[in-house]
Amino acid sequence: MRITEFSNPRMAQAFVDYMATRGIRLRVEHDNHYTVWLDDDSKVNLVENELNQFIREPNHPRYQAASWHSGTTNSGIHYQGSSLLANIRQRAGPLTLSVMVVCIAIFILMQLLGDGTVMSWLAWPEQDQHFQLWRWFTHAFLHFSLLHITFNLLWWWYLGGVIEKRLGSGKLFVILLISALLSGWMQAKFSGVLFGGLSGAVYALMGYAWLRGERDPESGIFLERGLMAFAVVWLIVGYMGWFGLSIANAAHVTGLLVGLAMAFVDTRHIRS
């Protein structure tokens, strides 16, 4: 019986070795991916339960130690060197990557032409620009420093990639669209139109991933509670104005609420 497939040989090895410590033999076949097979289908329920847990916590020490405990080295998995770009593509889907490319391209353009010029094309609409519909969303692609774009894109890749891989590009697109629109609208109410960044969408992904993981662990989508706590602390830092940081607090809070609301709607059948 085919159990699952991995694109990362190390993950396949860790899962196979861990199941060996549970007395269950799995084998791996390598084509374009590493496909895991179970010969004894009477153990399928146990294997699937363990797989769901593994997907949630692939870096847990119990998996890292499994190869030592299993005492085997003949898994048949051959490791190949991989580049940074290959590792990025492995986790991210086409929408995740496309948004990253667009943000980087616009950031380079801002360095060449100046922030003001690019913002005059893409920033949140002023009173006479409301029919330029792209502006309701393209403000999310504007970033004003290397730290700003690096922080946002790392989180976008880390969370958006998993959501796209698990739930599809459509779900990620809806989260991006709604969070960009509502967080931008709220931020404009508080600070005017001179703002930008993907952080409203990033906070929506944080809220979505955390609550989805709490209410629907089987989805394989989650955000560790410690990282969620970090996100909340960062909100407090922004509101208190510590360290002299200029942070779009309204966009962050709105994005977080959007993500939580969408996760609640998507999991309402789980708790009913």
Percent of the chain whose predicted confidence (pLDDT) is above 90: 46
Q: Which two tokens stand for residue 139?
A: 């403000």
pLDDT at residue 168 greater than cutoff 90: yes
CATH of the domain at 262: 1.20.1540.10
Which residues neighbour 85 within 8 Å (Cβ) at sequence distance 6 or greater? none
pLDDT at residue 248 greater than cutoff 50: yes
Last residue of a domain, one of 38, 60, 81: 81
Pairing of strands 2-6, 26-30: unpaired
160 and 43 share one domain: no
Band of the pLDDT at 30, cuts 50, 70, 90?
Answer: confident
Band of the pLDDT at 264, cuts 50, 70, 90?
Answer: very high
117 and 32 share one domain: no
- Is 179 one of the annotated active-site residues of the chain? no
pLDDT mean over 33-55: 83
The boundaries of the domain holding residue 70 are 2-81
Buried (b) or exposed (e) across 9-27, using 16+ Cβ within 10 A? bebbbbbbbbbbbeebebe
Q: What pLDDT was estimated at residue 234?
A: 80
pLDDT at residue 34 greater than cutoff 70: yes
Number of other CB atoms surrounding residue 95 within 10 Å = 19
Residue/partner pairs of 31-34 with CB below 8 Å, 24 or more apart: 33/5, 33/6, 33/7, 34/5, 34/6, 34/7, 34/8, 34/9, 34/77
Last residue of a domain, one of 81, 96, 118: 81
Catalytic residue among 199, 219, 246, 272: 199
Among 253, 251, 245, CA closest to 139: 251
Regarding predicted confidence, which is higher, 81 or 55?
55
Tokens 């560790």 -> residue = 224
89 and 77 share one domain: no
Residues belonging to the chain? 272
Across the chain, what does the average pLDDT equal? 85
Number of domains in the chain: 2
Q: Which two tokens stand for residue 142?
A: 């504007």
Q: From residue 23, give the alpha-carbon distance in Å to each of 19, 67, 70, 71, 138.
A: 7, 13, 9, 12, 53
Band of the pLDDT at 41, cuts 50, 70, 90?
Answer: confident
Tens-place pLDDT, residues 215-238: 998 888 888 888 899 888 888 877
173 and 93 share one domain: yes
Band of the pLDDT at 241, cuts 50, 70, 90?
Answer: low
Percent of the chain whose predicted confidence (pLDDT) is above 70: 87
Give the burial class of 151: count Cβ atoms within 10 A of its Cβ; 0-12 exposed, 13-18 middle, 19 or more buried.
middle
Which residues neighbour 10 within 8 Å (Cβ) at sequence distance 6 or greater? 79
65 and 179 share one domain: no
- Is 199 one of the annotated active-site residues of the chain? yes
Tens-place pLDDT, residues 94-104: 999 999 999 99
pLDDT at residue 33 greater than cutoff 80: no
43 and 109 share one domain: no
Would you say the pTM of this structure is higher than 0.95? no
> 249-266 and 199-215 helices cross at what angle (nearest 10)?
30
Catalytic residue among 139, 143, 148, 252: 252
241 and 219 share one domain: yes
Tens-place pLDDT, residues 120-150: 999 999 988 989 999 999 999 999 999 999 9
